[in-house]
Structure 1
């Protein structure tokens, strides 16, 4: 058992509640720091820590982060960290980073990473700023479009059949050997898509909408120009 935890348990009764809570938080933070520094691999005496592993996981695309807890993926990530460390050590050994051309390339790469990070930070700031508006949009789409069957919107059977025939004809033209599903198998999908589109068109027709055409012709928005003008500090 952790020595700090043993000491904490022995002296628990002598503290008031507030001090106990503060002490517990401090001990928790110490434990977290120790765990982050936990060695998970070693390359020629250079430690690779759990924090290094977590940094690599943090840079993974969202769909892959959930997989990082599996032993196979952990092993692959650690192997990548090991090989990267080996390459870094070999580069240092060869004096690679002292070469003028390599130093120039290194500086360019660093600046590109910083630029990308600045752009990402700006994007995240905008996401946070517009969080409520974005959430409302997503809920509106989910509830009004994705969550409806649109049975209250009238569709004509001949229109549905016509769309199917057009789809089948174009599919065969692109790929003569393609298997075309039966109309009965896809009719409901066609009806739903048709009814949804009809409902959206009717919604638009009832609204008063104006579009600033001059904005469309502009080369870039202020936000895009701001991103392009980010300076390396």
Structure 2
């Protein structure tokens, strides 16, 4: 279950980018540029020789737990253990996809990165709040730019790998029927199909994309299983 990729986990999101450490961008540096601290930092897993650092794992786990806490959900020991396994699997999945994207030699223009960075900044009340978020997550703007670029490369790789996704009206109607049943169970009136069709179509496409990405990741896991080491 937890080896499956979560819904478009690669798609850029504020939490994903600012909640992540910059270990992946460090792979672009030479060994001489790495600090002693980075060299000696403990790893929790390796993927084809690339280390997944403990700090990245702990930060990702902290972000996952914070999401539940914000919703007022208290985790029991079993769920917390499952989350720990899931977070590590997610990091492994991300690294596998990153390596595959890197092998494709995909090029992203700086103007595209700048545009996405501007979009991220726009989600903050002001520049001070944006800088505060960077500070809290111990990420510089340059590191953030590199993280954004990497995510864009991965997204482009996934788009190319899964191809164009379309859905039939029948598939959209299945989702509509689910929506209608849920709405009516809450003693509310459901919108007419034609009114919500466009929105549900996008939902159906997103679901199908998720399925294709899940399958892609599962294939990568099987192909690279011998080179995935949990430390």
Give the TM-score, by structure 2 length.
0.30
Say which structure is richer in helix.
Answer: 1
Give the TM-score, by structure 1 length.
0.30
Structure index of larger Rg: 1
